[in-house]
Amino acid sequence: MEKAVDMPTAEAKKDTSGFVKNSVLYKEFLAEREEILKHKWIESEKAGKDIGFEKALLDWIVKHRSHWRERRMKEARAEKAAS
């Protein structure tokens, strides 16, 4: 009979969760999500109704994402150079 594989303990899960939440990738995801939600609010106000997250996401990607990323990279380089 095979030995059962131990499931990760709550502590191991907590360590992994902390690692993810502190990662640059996750922080960028949160910053991008915040921008999309702002865009959703602005476009919903213009439309006079909630346009929904998916429509706001696609619209933001097409119209704003590349410029937003360029600006974020420039800001990160400037902060790095200043330190």
pLDDT (tens digit per residue) in 1-25: 555 555 556 665 666 677 777 898 9
Q: Give the dihedral of Cα atoms 55, 57, 59, 64; nearest 10 deg.
A: 170
Which of 5-9, 22-26, 49-53, 74-78 has the highest average model confidence (pLDDT)? Answer: 49-53
* Long-range interactions of 27-36: CB distance < 8 A, separation 24+: 28/72, 31/72, 32/65, 32/68, 35/60, 35/64, 35/68, 36/60
Cα of 25 vs its chain's centroid, Å: 8
Mean pLDDT confidence for 60-69:
97
Report which DSSP code applies to 68.
H
Mean pLDDT confidence for 18-34:
89
What is the chain's mean pLDDT, rounded? 87
Which tokens belong to 1? 């009979």
What pLDDT is recorded for position 18?
75
Which tokens belong to 61? 């990607």
Mean pLDDT confidence for 53-61:
98
